[in-house]
Amino acid sequence: MSLTMVTLTDFAAEKVTQFLATQEAGDDAGLRVGVRGGGCSGFQYALALDERKEEDQVFEDHGIRLIVDPASLEYVDGSVVDYTESLMGAGFEVKNPNVVAACGCGSSFRVADEEASCG
């Protein structure tokens, strides 16, 4: 499997930079982009400011570290992290080319070769 990477939009990079500055994060800190089981479509995104661990894959975009654990990498490879603001709220959104199905709320997803967890 050849890795593409995980990238940020300009607006998401601006927001991550602001969050890192307010958290007084260490030099190894960045935005962790991961997945965990759950949601009606099988997986949910897990995004958080975090420090790099030894086994992590690290991408750099806009001068920001994007940290991905080995188990999440195949699910988020090629994704673009954006930040959106609307009347419904604000937050990070992952535009993932690997997704074949997503739930109506947009917080869970399924990739090819994975069974849905509910009908």
> For the chain, which residues make up each domain, given as ranges?
7-111
CATH topology of domain 7-111: Hypothetical Protein Aq_1857; Chain: A; (2.60.300)
Is the pLDDT reported for residue 43 higher than 70? Answer: yes
**Number of residues in the chain:** 119
In angstroms, the CA 107 to CA 104 distance is 8
Cα separation values, 3 from 11, 44, 73, 103, Å: 24, 21, 9, 26
Query: Please, which pLDDT band fits residue 108 given cuts at 50, 70 and 90?
Result: low
Look at residues 68, 75, 69, 85 and name the one whose alpha carbon lies nearest to residue 9: 85
In angstroms, the CA 100 to CA 18 distance is 32
pLDDT at 106: 54
Q: What is the pLDDT of residues 55-79, one digit of tens each?
A: 999 999 999 999 999 999 988 999 9
Q: To which residue do tokens 């997986």 refer?
A: 43
List all residues 6 or more positions away from 119 whose beta carbon is below 8 Å from its beta carbon: none
List all residues 6 or more positions away from 45 whose beta carbon is below 8 Å from its beta carbon: 33, 34, 35, 76, 92, 94, 107, 109
Q: What is the pTM of this model?
A: 0.78
In angstroms, the CA 29 to CA 51 distance is 4
pLDDT at 21: 87
